[in-house]
Structure 1
Amino acid sequence: MHYFSSSFKLGILGGGQLGKMLLYETRKWDIYTKVMDASDDAPSKIACNQFVKGSLLDFDAAYNFGKDVDVLTIEIENVNVDALEKLEHEGVKVYPSTKTLRTIQNKATQKLFYTDNEIPTSPFTRFAYTSEIEDSISNGGLKFPFVWKSAQFGYDGQGVKVVRKMEDLEGLPNVECIAEEMVNFKNELAVIVVRNTQGEVKTYPVVEMEFHPDANQVEYVICPARVDESILQKAKAVALKVSDHLNHVGLLAVELFQTQDDEILVNEVAPRPHNSGHYSIEGSYTNQFEQHIRAILGLPLGKTDSKVAGVMVNLVGVEGHTGDVVYENIDSILEMDGVTPHIYGKKETRPFRKMGHVTIVDKDMKRAREVAQKVKETIKVISKLQ
């Protein structure tokens, strides 16, 4: 099939920042794109060929959107899988497949997949409703502390809470959920695995992630990870095992824990471009967004090596600020060598909302990390009016 400057149509469900960055690549290659999002102000709206407003979770909206595309992909997992399954049966190529999406979309199902396939992960208990957890604690079936996760619709730190005492359960939604045993870890790592429709598989370098202690969001992504070679090999092996059993097409980001005993445990996965791969836009020979397009179109995969050390800093809304966004001191970070900001196009900020990211590249990792710290301390995502 001819993809470039042709009648081929690529559909993308979700019009957020990941979709916007995918569209950088389709624009580069002149691939016709159709995007659906629930918001008229979606960041992807200005960059696609055709924009449709609609709910990704509505069967009719998702099905009607996909009927006239040749290949359909996602930038977020929260989509109506039944609609995508019908489209698959009617001949639309859907990547990742609905089988992969059904496994990953529900965190309880995802954890069971790991245990069924002997993939190392933290012990967990599944609950039909959050209200059942209190009885489990009272009867000795569950002990503090643990991590509560909503089975569905969690993202960017939402739907996740560390529970250290009974009072921490107050206010949590009464939904299907899991309670994970707390992992005593040294590092949080991630590996992006890419697989094309022909079965060609490659991995990106293992990255290290540093999280905000309160928001449960990534603050820094460091590539390459500052761990021993033996840990890098273990992390890649586990990520490849997950990929092999899922048999996904496209990108698969595998988030991992390195325990105090240097074991590698899978935390969770995302079947799409991911925050842990944003550094690749400036740092890699082939960035993750181009790679995802290559994979779902059955094109040869690009080189995944890094050209230079990279650190990504997330730009999130400052606490206490809600309203029209202002990027304070952005001119100051632009004076720093090797610094590239990416602004996602969201007009309104709120506390901890992802508004952009900054990549810092340098031949020296230590220096890149030092500059990243200066960037984090300098730029502030605030609102115009207080």
Structure 2
Amino acid sequence: MKIRVGIVGDGQLGMFLCEAAQALAIDTVILTGDAASPAAQRAGAAVVGTMDDAAAVEALADACDIVTYEREDVHPVAVEVLRRAQVAGSIHCHPSLDVIETIQDKARQKRWLADAGLPTLPFVLAHGEDGEAAAAASRLGFPLVQKALRGGFDGRGVQLLRDEAALARAWPGETLYEAHAGEFRELAVIVVRAQDGDLRCFPPVDMTFDSDYSVLEWVYAPSGAGECVLNEAERVARAAIEALNGVGTFGVELFHCADGRVLINEISPRVHNAGHYTLEGTESSQFEQHLRAVTGLPLASMELLTPAAMRNLLCNDAIVEAAGNRAAGRSVDGAVATYWYGKAPARAMRKLGHITATGATATEAGERAAAAYERLTGSHGEAA
């Protein structure tokens, strides 16, 4: 009898999970707001409904053995329904619901990092009272980073307050203030931990972000940082997922600061955009490994087969024109693979697809991806 995995969320991550499940003979059931979404079309079955629809979440739980997620902002209604089903013994949730609740709230995540003795930037929690922004700036200095506690991703829910005058733009309500990392290199380590505790890492990668929107633009695998830095990045990332007792694939985003420290920025309890290169560059993908981990299958090799680079296709006029009415899918031209997610371009800088290229080095792969981007859009897509 096939294992049945329920997936909360129906974006491109869910789509790739469903595709990976087919090769593993795993049945998938996806919770989706749109039965025609690309993720729903790749799933074995779809439950149409939102995360705050208790009946839909109950239907998902009834249809599967294991529940996992392609997003961390799981609605409290869904958490409660899934918890009841798990207590009743009808499903297992991986990562655990406790992990989801800890990670999806940035205040809880930061407190957990600090309590666990894991390296992270200094922070202050604000409750929406007058003077808190100024007090945070006095303690942490400028520039000051403000983060929403829930739902922030792809550059949303984060703002930089550069000086005292900018404090007037501080968001009200409960938020998080964080010290700025200064000059830094952004790294990511994709960590996989199986039910039996087997923990492995894909090679650390470099990330660069769009400067205006703070959305991930480029990934280079492997990272060009020195061996000591990469060893420390992997050590810190492993320690974090061990401390979480997490099961599944996790994206650990890190800062390598100018003073040599390697600090955790954020953890994502799911497959991660920085790991898309594993579809071409490694022996198994992050999506296959996630499914293996949550279902109790043994982990596969995660060896880097070839250096790679990934360029996100972020929604702008040129990308909208290039996307046209393309359905979700993959096309390959030599060392370059182009993916479209089948999304409607609803907002600026939304991820509509990505390009992955391989090469003798990550730099060469980046040049190939940049050239493919230019051919696609008629604009310059220079590697960062």
Matched, 1:365 2:362: yes
Q: Give ranges in structure 1 of 5+ residues lacking alignment.
A: 329-333
User: Residues 270-285 of structure 1: matches in 2 within 5 Å?
Assistant: 270-285=268-283
Matched, 1:28 2:27: no
Distance 2:200 2:154 in 1: 26
Identity over aligned pairs, percent: 33
User: Residues 159-174 of structure 1: matches in 2 within 5 Å?
Assistant: 159-165=157-163, 168=166, 174=172
Distance 2:339 2:249 in 1: 21
TM-score (norm 1): 0.89
Distance 1:327 1:46 in 2: 17
**Contact 1:323/1:349, CA 8 A, preserved across alignment:** no
Q: For 1:199, which of 181, 193, 197 is the aligned residue?
A: 197
Shift in Å at residue 271 of structure 1?
0.9
Distance 1:88 1:16 in 2: 25
TM-score (norm 2): 0.89
Distance 1:83 1:169 in 2: 40
Shift in Å at residue 322 of structure 1?
7.5
Partner of 2:44: 49
Partner of 2:153: 155
Distance 1:324 1:358 in 2: 13
Distance 1:95 1:169 in 2: 40
Partner of 1:331: none
AA aligned opposite 1:341: T
Change (3 A) 1:239 1:130: farther
Q: Give ranges in structure 2 of 5+ residues lacking alignment.
A: 380-384
Partner of 2:382: none
User: Residues 1-386 of structure 1: matches in 2 within 5 Å?
Assistant: 2-3=1-2, 8-80=3-75, 81-91=79-89, 92-129=91-128, 133-134=132-133, 136=135, 140-141=138-139, 143-165=141-163, 168=166, 174-318=172-316, 325-326=323-324, 337-380=334-377
Distance 1:379 1:217 in 2: 20
**Contact 1:278/1:312, CA 8 A, preserved across alignment:** yes
**Contact 1:146/1:162, CA 8 A, preserved across alignment:** yes
AA aligned opposite 1:375: A
Shift in Å at residue 324 of structure 1?
10
Secondary structure at the residue paired with 2:206? strand
Number of corresponding residues: 372
Change (3 A) 1:160 1:57: farther
Distance 1:67 1:349 in 2: 33
Shift in Å at residue 323 of structure 1?
9.5
AA aligned opposite 2:60: F
Distance 1:130 1:83 in 2: 34
**Contact 1:324/1:347, CA 8 A, preserved across alignment:** no
Tell me the alpha carbon deviations over residues 204-254 of structure 1, each in whole angstroms, 9 at most, x when there is no partner.
101000111011111110000001100110000000110110010000110
Shift in Å at residue 134 of structure 1?
3.9
AA aligned opposite 1:17: Q
**Contact 1:43/1:345, CA 8 A, preserved across alignment:** yes
Distance 1:381 1:197 in 2: 47
Change (3 A) 1:221 1:320: closer
Distance 2:235 2:146 in 1: 28
